[in-house]
Structure formats: C-alpha cells, structure tokens
Amino acid sequence: MINAVQQGHLFDAEQLMKTYQLLDEFVSKVLDLRRRWHDHCSRKPSRSRGTRSHLKRVEPGLLTPEHVYRMPILEALVELGGAAPCQQLIERAYQ
C-alpha cells in the first residue's frame, strides 16, 4: 500500500484499505460466531442423556474430519442469526 501511495496511486491504496477493512470485519464476525458457538455448545445439558458405553469406536478413516463441518456450521449460524439450539444448527448445516 505504501508503494501505491508513493507512486501516486491513491485510488489503488484506498481500494486496498476498503478490502482490508471488509476482511477485518469478516474475521471479527467469524471469531465472534466461533466464541458464541463454543459458549452455546459447552453448556451442560439440563437432563441426563444416559451413557454411550454401548457404542463402539469407529475405525480410523471412516469418520468425516471435524474441519469439514466448520464452514457449514458457521454458515448455518449466520442464517439463524448467530445463535440456535445445537440440534437446529446441525439440521440446518446438513441441508
């Protein structure tokens, strides 16, 4: 950006600043949604769901990696206004 200003390309520098500001706002929103998701999903359930001791571990490579779910969940959070019950969020993310 400094080079653009030095070379008299003020318009280019302004465009870069606008792009940076939009990106900065987007990152802030994503981080806020991530924090809210963590806060929401880390609450203890109000009722006991029982144990899952009867379930067996899945063989390595059969489960979809967690990182694949991040964007659909974040997009669903945005569509649902930033907060929703986990089950509703999961259903929306799988649509």
4, pLDDT greater than 90 = no
Report if residue 49 sits inside a domain: no
Residues 6 or more apart whose CB falls under 8 angstroms from that of 41 comprise 86
Is the whole model's pTM more than 0.75, yes or no?
A: no
Structural domain includes residue 17: yes
Distance between CA 15 and CA 10 in Å, rounded? Answer: 9
User: How many structural domains comprise the chain?
Assistant: 1
Residue 14 falls within a domain, yes or no?
yes
Say if 13 falls within a structural domain: yes
Say what the pLDDT of residue 44 is: 67
Does residue 59 fall inside a structural domain? no
Q: Is residue 48 part of a domain?
A: no
Residue 16 lies in a domain: yes
**Residue 87 predicted with pLDDT over 70:** yes
Residue 89 carries which side chain, given as an amino acid letter?
A: L
Supply the pLDDT for residue 16: 87
Domain housing 37 = 2-42+65-93
Q: Is there a domain that residue 51 lies in?
A: no
Task: Look at 1 and 73; give whichever has higher pLDDT.
Answer: 73
Token code pair at residue 27: 């990152």
